[in-house]
Amino acid sequence: MTRVSIVGASGYTGGELLRILLDHPAVEVVQATSRSHLGEYVYQVHPNLRKRTTLKFSDPEQLEPVDVIFLALPHGQAQRKIEQYAALAPRIVDLSADFRLRDAATYEKWYGEPHAAPQWLSKFVYGLPELHRAEIRSAHYVSGVGCNATAANLALLPLVKANLIESEQPIIVEIKVGSSEGGAEGNPGTHHPERSSVIRTFSSFGHRHTAEVMQEMGVPNVVLTMTSVDLVRGALATVHAQARPGVTTKDLWKAYRAVVAEHPFLRLVKEQRGIYRVPEPKILAGSNYADLGFDLDESTGHVVSICAIDNLMKGASGTAVQCMNLMLGLEETTGLEFSGLHPI
């Protein structure tokens, strides 16, 4: 059994890591840390895990050596202690934004401060298997992915891979997100009377995840507009782009079919009948699947591409475990094949 520990296990992504890894056939969870819940059973914070484990939260300063460490910490923490974590485990998956960008100057531009461990940036592989499967297989250090960036990157993937859109032209990505994206720590904006029933645009452009989309998709002219909606889990990215001259709907079908055939967690949702004709996050809650859809106005070349995910799964912990599976030489889908619930 591979011995793994989770640092920051009382948070939302840490809770999802626990849920997945406790059922994972090749893994034993050794430690799950929390300073504020030290000594408590993990199910006291994550009630869905009651009767699934007797593990208690441990102190992040008392980590034992293991095979894999998952870091599920707030932004900026992992980079300050990366040497210490690396001394404890040969493989690390960091869910934060600390090691997602390859370039220290780009990091400083988007995050507003110098990186605390810039020499580590080149040691990490960007942790989206749909983009870096081969590198992740041989990597020791894998970054997390931004949940909004993941929805945007996967919506763009078939278009960019098949070279179907004008990648220098403006690409607009409207993203609607649920409240768990903000983590377990509350703030005035997440207070129930203020957050409930909202459709609230909180970032017109300049969202930090834009840097991940630029880096990974090679699209310099991309804008992410972020809107909070009345969901707990889920992110929906709607891309608007300009098709290259002569691109047809048939070309898009071919590109999307090729991408979903290549990647086990990508599915094409483009139905003529029924309620679920296009991707939507609701039926993905708890699942690692990402649903893709598209439309093309052939008269103008306007393309719409859609990706729905669960932000805590494909947008964070599910993808992190998918990366661990690849790093360990396991089947990529191990422990991740939950279909989602319907109705929900």
Ligand X SMILES: NC(=O)c1ccc[n+]([C@@H]2O[C@H](COP(=O)([O-])OP(=O)(O)OC[C@H]3O[C@@H](n4cnc5c(N)ncnc54)[C@H](OP(=O)(O)O)[C@@H]3O)[C@@H](O)[C@H]2O)c1
Identify whether 147 is a catalytic site residue.
yes
Among 2, 4, 5, 11, binds ligand X (CB under 6 A): 11
CB of 196 to ligand X, least distance (A): 19
**C-alpha count within 13 angstroms, C-beta hemisphere, residue 195:** 17
Asked if 12 interacts with ligand X (CB under 6 A), we say yes
- Active-site entry in 22, 97, 147, 283: 147
φ, ψ (nearest 5 deg) of residue 302: -75, 120
- Which window, 218-226, 261-269, 270-278, 310-318, contacts ligand X (CB under 6 A)? 310-318
Q: Is 322 in the site for ligand X (CB under 6 A)?
A: no
38 vs 268 by CB, closer to ligand X: 38
Stretch in the footprint of ligand X (CB under 6 A) among 94-102, 129-137, 219-227, 272-280: 94-102
d(CA 180, CA 154): 20
Q: Which of 20, 46, 60, 79 binds ligand X (CB under 6 A)?
A: 60
Beta bridge partners of 32: 6, 57
Q: Are 18 and 29 in contact (CB under 8 A)?
A: yes
Segment lying near ligand X (by CB under 6 A), choices 6-14, 151-159, 236-244, 326-334:
6-14
Q: Which H or E run contains 14?
A: helix 12-22
In sequence order, which residues have a C-beta less than 8 Å from that of residue 98 and are 6 or more positions away? 75, 76, 77, 78, 79, 82, 115, 143
For ligand X, which residue of 156, 284, 312, 330 counts as binding (CB under 6 A)?
312
Please report whether residue 73 would count as binding ligand X according to CB under 6 A. yes
Residue type, 160: V
HSE of 13 in the Cβ direction (CA atoms, 13 Å)? 31
Q: Is the distance from CB of 242 to CB of 158 less than 8 angstroms? A: no
Whose Cβ is closer to ligand X: residue 128's or residue 260's?
A: 128
- Sheet containing strand 290-297, edge to edge, reads 199-203, 222-229, 171-177, 235-242, 302-309, 290-297, 266-268
According to DSSP, the residues that pair with 92 across neighbouring strands are 69, 141
Nearer to ligand X, 95 or 175 (CB): 95
Site string for ligand X, 16-35 (x = CB under 6 A): ------------------xx
Question: Closer to ligand X at the Cβ: 212 or 291?
Answer: 212
In terms of CB distance, is 32 or 156 closer to ligand X? Answer: 32
Contact between 184 and ligand X by CB under 6 A: the answer reads yes
Q: Which residues are catalytic?
A: 147
Residues making contact with ligand X (CB under 6 A): 8-14, 34-37, 60, 72-75, 77, 95-97, 144, 147, 180-181, 183-185, 311-312, 315-316
